[in-house]
Amino acid sequence: MKRSDGLRVAAASLIENPLRTFLTLLGIAMGVTAVIFVVSMIEGLNRYMGEKVAKVGSSSFTVQKYGILTSHTEYAEARRRNRGIRHEDAEAIRRFASDVERVGIQRGWGVSPKYGSRSVSDVQMLAQDYDAYLIESPDIAQGRGFSQGEVQRGALVCYLGWEVADKLFENRDPVGRKVRLWGRGFVVNGVAKKQGSILGHSQDNFVSIPLGAFEKIFGSRRSINLIVKAKDPLRMEEAVDEVRMVLRARRHLRWDEEDNFGVITPDSLMSFWRKLTQMIFSVALFVVGISLVVGGIVIMNIMLLTVVERTREIGVRKAIGARQKDIRFQFLAESVMLCAAGGVVGVGLGWLLAYLVRTITPLPAAFPLWAPILAVVVTSAVGIFFGLYPARTAADLNPIEALGREAC
Amino acid sequence: MNDILLDLKDIWKTYDLGATSVHALGGVSFEARRNEYIAIVGPSGSGKSTLMNLIGCLDTPTKGRYLLNGRPVSEMDDNELARARNEEIGFVFQTFNLLARQTAQRNVELPLVYSGMPRSERVERATEALEAVGLGDRRHHRPNELSGGQRQRVAIARALVTRPSLLLADEPTGNLDTEMGREILSLFDRLHEQGNTIILVTHNPDVAKHARRVVSLLDGRIESDTGNGARR
């Protein structure tokens, strides 16, 4: 028998039993749907993170007391070893790091700004020096930001995030009015443009003040964060290395000691994120693996049932000249087609779900091309694996006994 | 002698049933020439089904030598047996054994599918075979749209489509009423006249009458053989 005829025979028997075929491939289809959907979600989250959170492609990075900490042990270790970042560190970087264009200093803090009797809690306070302000270069929608003089002398001025301005002032023009922080009045210079939210976290819930003003109130002994802009976005890594060398030298770290400060680059944020999603992904893959095995067992069961049900047909085929391998090929082809069809249906459903997510939410859910290809390859392999036993059973039937079963 | 199609010498078939063993065939020998029309008769349990399975290459003897068309069937493996069934034997069963979901045309094509014949040639040959049994206009009907006699004629067309050396029929009229049975038997007569070799297994003396030679089996042995009547 020719292979094409074998495939045709197998396809015909699947088409003749549409309900059985559908129910059989359902398990596989669901498994594949799940994996395609998970891959799409993770891919979508990765893109979202890359575009919005890590701002990949930007040329600045942060230096702070702690880096990205992923476990309690790491945290305990960092607590013990790490030293705060000081103004002198910034000075040293400015002096020695040639790939660095600008070093800004900033500090963050949670505050509750007040205006009259109104108050907004859980607002992010950002104290910036002039370099940090220039690196940040906020989009001011109303009024203005800071002047160099204001920042240098630590004037009690501020600009607000859109949400804070809206909550404190409602319809009034905030420019020129005074917001109270820690009991002191800060003149509102302007309001930043609305930025929306990332992963449900508002980007407009902040108040920025000059670093000098902050340190007048709280002193300058606390650890600061540095925001460093590389001269050339393509030489970001070199800039990061220079900064690390300068700080390590200042801290007299031996060559075999780890950094006792943290550098957070878009890349390190992304790789942290990817590590996280890989974990989610491998768990999801495991679950899907189980569902594929279950789906495969369902197919094996149905195929075994089919062999029993079609014993007489197998006998007839053998009597008129089908060889064992012809019968084996027919049943194997059936189970592979079932599985592959399940894979295709699953890819379709998964795509549909991803499309819905993409349309309804801001997440750009999409799967890479390898996902559907892999899905169909893997499900076909499942088909071969779980089809082998039923196919062998069918092929090994004795034609006399097979023909002996009562006819319908 | 090329004229001899079947040559069975001292054929034994023994079934091992654990403690005891049963001799379904105990030393059967006979020859059949081309274009013979033989009926194998005998009561149930006489071994005629076993003999038919052996002649039809569905099984191999425990002992003895069987040459079909000069080829030693007794020494064939499964693949060679399948090939022999495909090329040399045309089976006709009591219960027709058509594939229920396939049209008459597809059923008749099936042996040619297994011999690897290209599609277009297959369709042509199957059409010819169906026309030969008078079903040229029923080609695209499924078995359940055909009468019993028509179904058996489709089965006969399927048996003939490979142009086998031997047409082997097992109680071909057993599931048919008298009228249709007669119809099928006269078709066999015609096929015999056209030069086909036919072996018919039956327990019905009226059916056996159509054959030119009758071989009676009893308890796994040949009890009587009327000889090559057609060749007299």
Q: Over chain A (408 residues), what is each successive 10-residue block's mean pLDDT?
A: 81 84 86 85 80 66 77 78 76 76 81 80 84 79 79 82 80 80 82 75 82 79 79 76 78 77 76 80 81 85 88 91 92 89 89 87 79 85 90 91 64
Show residues of chain B in contact with A12, CB under 8 Å.
101-102
CB of B68 closer than 8 Å to CB of B41:
no
Model pLDDT, residue B139: 92
Distance from CA of B147 to the nearest CA of A (A): 15
Distance from CA of A6 to the nearest CA of B (A): 9
Distance from CA of A352 to the nearest CA of B (A): 35
Model pLDDT, residue A54: 60
Q: Encode chain B in three state secondary structure.
A: CCCEEEEEEEEEEEEEECCEEEEEEEEEEEEEECCCEEEEECCCCCCHHHHHHHHCCCCCCCEEEEEECCEEHHHCCHHHHHHHHHHHEEEECCCCCCCCCCCHHHHHHHHHHHHCCCHHHHHHHHHHHHHHCCCHHHCCCCHHHCCHHHHHHHHHHHHHCCCCCEEEEECCCCCCCHHHHHHHHHHHHHHHHCCCEEEEEECCHHHHCCCCEEEEEECCEEEEECCCHHHC
Show residues of chain A in contact with B171, CB under 8 Å.
none
Residues B36, B230: Cα–Cα separation, whole Å: 7
Residues B192, B197: Cα–Cα separation, whole Å: 6
Binary contact (B96, A5; C-beta < 8 A): no
CB of A364 closer than 8 Å to CB of A49:
no
- What's phi and psi for A377, nearest 5 deg? -65, -45
Selecting from A13, A326, A408 the residue whose C-beta is nearest the C-beta of B114 gives A326
Residues A196, A304: Cα–Cα separation, whole Å: 58
How many CB pairs below 8 Å do chains A and B form together? 69
CB of B208 closer than 8 Å to CB of B173:
no
Residues B27, B25: Cα–Cα separation, whole Å: 6
What is residue A102's DSSP assignment? Answer: E
At residue A313, what is the residue type? E
Model pLDDT, residue A405: 54
- What's phi and psi for A135, nearest 5 deg? -65, -45
Model pLDDT, residue B185: 92
Instruction: Please write the tens of the pLDDT for every residue from A351-367.
Output: 898 888 888 877 777 78
Selecting from A5, A312, A319 the residue whose C-beta is nearest the C-beta of B85 gives A319
- pLDDT tens for each residue of chain B, 232 residues long: 468 899 999 999 998 888 888 888 999 998 999 999 999 999 888 888 899 999 999 988 999 999 999 899 988 999 999 999 999 999 999 888 998 888 999 999 999 999 989 999 999 999 999 999 999 999 999 999 999 999 999 999 999 999 999 999 999 998 889 899 999 999 999 999 999 999 999 988 888 988 999 999 999 899 998 875 444 3
Model pLDDT, residue B167: 94
Model pLDDT, residue A393: 92
Model pLDDT, residue A408: 37
Residue of chain A minimizing CA distance to B118: A2
Show residues of chain B in contact with A328, CB under 8 Å.
none
- CA distances (Å), B42 to each of A69, B53, B100, B214, in order? 91, 15, 31, 10
Residues A251, A156: Cα–Cα separation, whole Å: 34
Domain boundaries, chain A: 3-52+271-404, 99-233
Judged by a CB distance cut-off of 8 A, whether residue B53 touches chain A is yes
Residues A400, B58: Cα–Cα separation, whole Å: 7
CB of B191 closer than 8 Å to CB of B35:
no
Residues A216, A367: Cα–Cα separation, whole Å: 52
Show residues of chain A in contact with B85, CB under 8 Å.
318-321
Q: Which domains does chain B have, with CATH numbers?
A: 36-49+81-231 (3.40.50.300)
- What's phi and psi for A237, nearest 5 deg? -60, -40
ipTM of the complex: 0.91
Show residues of chain A in contact with B113, CB under 8 Å.
1-2, 5, 9
Mutate to test the interface with A, among B50, B99, B106 (most CBs of A within 10 A): B99
Residue A137 region by backbone torsions, left for phi larger than 0, else alpha for psi between -120 and 50, else beta: left
Residues A15, A96: Cα–Cα separation, whole Å: 75
Model pLDDT, residue A57: 55
Residues A339, A25: Cα–Cα separation, whole Å: 6
Show residues of chain B in contact with A407, CB under 8 Å.
95-97
Model pLDDT, residue B32: 92
